[in-house]
Amino acid sequence: MKSSSLPDPIRRTLDWVHERNHSEPIFIQAVEEVLHSLGPVLDAFPQVEDNGILERICEPERQLIFHIVWQDDEGRVRVNRGFRIKFNSALGPYKGGLRFHPTVNLGVIKFLGFEQIFKNSLTGLSIGGAKGGSDFDPKGKSDGEVMRFCQAFMTELYRHIGPSEDVPAGDIGVGGREIGYLFGQYKRLTRRYDLGVITGKDTAWGGSLVRREATGFGAVYFLEEMLKQRGEDLQDKVAIVSGSGNVALYAIRKLMDLGARVVACSDSGGVVHEPGGLDWEQLREVKEIERGRLQTYAERRPKARFKEGDPGTIWSLPCDVALPCATQNELNGEQAAELLENGCIAVSEGANMPSTPEAVELFLERGILFGPGKAANAGGVAVSALEMQQNAAWASWTFAEVDRKLKETMADIHGTCRHYADKYSRDGNYVDGANIGGFLRVAQAMISHGLL
């Protein structure tokens, strides 16, 4: 939507957000994407404007920035920067992952925290929105270095989190190993075994079954729901999935379980293409167990080809369905056009904001099925909330039980998106549906709590 055709309160809020955050273009992109959907809501709910909800929801409730000092294996002192952005607590304790990656900065964490508000709201559960992380790069570091870094990170963070205050989890660069070290240090500093203070824990000590699989499985369940609307399913569909980390790996697993042939995935070093279909067990062996590179997978598979360089070349491969599961803005307008030319009928975002605004506009214009990240990848945080419920009850549920709840949650989120799209936008516009559905629940809670 052109900014001149936006309702006044939205245009004013966007100007205000631009002015205060001009050095954070990625955060502004995330705010624009949500606010552009909210025009019809302002007429139906005048209380939103009366209570200043638009401005209040765009300003984090609390922002922490701290330094992390640790020692590498050579004894050199290293300094990194840490963040925790507590964005919105209207629906429950702050909840959102930690990202360890060299590209992390304040703008990136604010964009992720902002997205998290609406995603968490869409799950229907009692969780607020937050995000955190550091510019530390775990790649190439020894286990000892990762442990010392995690301990130093938690030495600052522990005073700001708690099971009913703020509950971090993993994200890029933060998996089971890092969660273990972070929890260990929290336990040491507080002398409390508060399982509910962090999610994504190992199942041997308080983690939930299906948490590891949840984001990838959930993105595929959402895709299945979208396909159902057109009388389609995943049987014999050709799929491509970008990334090869936690989300990508389990999206690939579920796509295969449902009959699709997954022919390509990527990492930051390039793309592996295997027209007969990837071998999931070997992929998992290289990526999850050995923590290796995709090139190694390709070297072990006679029919796989590894193209080194720009991982974005994955989008030029023909497919029926595509799942961007790597990182933000990894799929641009030109690449979206290529995907459409090659016959892609559905895109489900496993990553956060992987498609640029130009790509999203093209998908919507052409009317393909497009599931935005805040809806399609909400399965991860939904199972994190189930992990918190199990921890609070000192219980552990079976794989089948958690998987069934995840599937139901994804179907409910899909239903919510359709309902709000149909009511305030147009049928099948999951972007507007997710933004409006996510926003209204948070706005109503904020109004109930008064001016805070």
Active site residues: 131
Q: Give the nearest distance from C-beta 272 to ligand NDP in angstroms.
A: 11
Which of 51, 203, 268, 295 touches ligand NDP by CB under 6 A? 268
- The angle that helices 25-35 and 106-122 make with each other, rounded to 10 degrees, is 30
With binding defined as CB under 6 A, does residue 215 bind ligand NDP? Answer: yes
Residues 6+ apart with CB under 8 A from 202: 176, 179, 180
Find the distance separating the first CA and the last CA of the chain, reported in whole Å: 31
CB atoms within 10 A of CB 168: 29
267 binds ligand NDP (CB under 6 A): yes
- What's the CA gap between 171 and 111, in Å, rounded? 14
Asked if residue 416 binds ligand NDP (CB under 6 A), the reply is: no
CB atoms within 10 A of CB 148: 20
Segment interacting with ligand NDP, rule: CB under 6 A, options 335-343, 348-356, 398-406, 424-432: 348-356
Among the listed residues 342, 306, 307, 303, the one whose alpha carbon sits nearest the alpha carbon of residue 322: 342
Closest separation between CB of residue 77 and ligand NDP, Å?
Answer: 26
Instruction: Decide: is 199 part of the binding site for ligand NDP (CB under 6 A).
Output: no
* Nearer to ligand NDP among residue 267 and residue 403 (C-beta): 267
122 binds ligand NDP (CB under 6 A): no
Residue 115 engages ligand NDP in binding (rule: CB under 6 A): no
Position 269 contacts ligand NDP (CB under 6 A): yes
According to the binding rule CB under 6 A, does residue 133 interact with ligand NDP?
no
Q: Is 64 helix (H, G, I), strand (E, B) or coil?
A: strand
Residue recorded with tokens 């062996």: 285
Q: Which amino acid is residue 166, in one-letter code?
A: D
Is 270 one of the binding residues for ligand NDP (CB under 6 A)? no
For residues 431 and 246, give the distance between their C-alpha atoms in angstroms, rounded to a whole number.
24
Residue 223 CA to residue 250 CA, distance in Å, equals 14
| Segment lying near ligand NDP (by CB under 6 A), choices 30-38, 188-196, 245-253, 299-307 | 245-253
419 to 223, 257, 363: CA distances (angstroms): 17, 29, 20
Minimum distance of ligand NDP from residue 215's CB (angstroms): 4
Beta bridge partners of 131: 85
Shortest Å distance, C-beta 275 to ligand NDP: 20
Choosing from 243, 371, 372, 437, the residue that interacts with ligand NDP (CB under 6 A) is 243
Residues 67, 392 contacting (CB under 8 angstroms): no
Residue 96 near ligand NDP by CB under 6 A: no
Spatial separation of the C-alpha atoms in residues 335 and 324, rounded to whole Å: 12
Residue with structure tokens 């060299």?
102
Q: Which residues pair with 322 in a beta bridge?
A: 240, 347
Binding mask 292-331 for ligand NDP (x = CB under 6 A): -------------------x-------------xxx--x-
245 binds ligand NDP (CB under 6 A): yes
CA distances from 91 to 50, 96, 318, 394 (A): 20, 13, 42, 23
DSSP letters, 187-210, are HHHH----GGG-SS--GGGTPPTT
Please tell me whether residue 138 binds ligand NDP under the rule CB under 6 A. Answer: no
Contact call for residue 350 and ligand NDP (CB under 6 A): yes
Judged by CB under 6 A, the stretch of 87-95, 157-165, 241-249, 297-305 that binds ligand NDP is 241-249
Contact between 220 and ligand NDP (CB under 6 A)?
no
Q: Are strands 305-308 and 270-273 parallel, antiparallel or unpaired?
A: antiparallel
Report the residue number, 56 or 407, with the smaller CB distance to ligand NDP: 407
Distances (CA, A) of 52 to 41, 75, 129, 441: 14, 51, 19, 15
Residue 335 or 377 with smaller CB distance to ligand NDP: 377
Question: Site for ligand NDP (CB under 6 A): which residue of 145, 166, 171, 225?
Answer: 171
121 binds ligand NDP (CB under 6 A): no
Which part of the chain contacts ligand NDP (CB under 6 A), choosing from 178-186, 233-241, 261-269, 425-433? 261-269
CB contact at 8 A, 297 and 215: no
Q: Does 242 bind ligand NDP (CB under 6 A)?
A: yes
Of the pair 39, 173, the CB lying nearest ligand NDP is at: 173
User: Whole-number minimum distance, CB 98 to ligand NDP, in Å?
Assistant: 10
Given candidates 80, 121, 377, 390, which one binds ligand NDP under the rule CB under 6 A?
377
351: contact with ligand NDP by CB under 6 A: yes
Whether the CB-CB separation of 188 and 384 falls below 8 Å is answered with: no
Chain residues in the site for ligand NDP (CB under 6 A): 170-173, 215, 242-248, 266-269, 311, 325-327, 330, 350-352, 377, 380
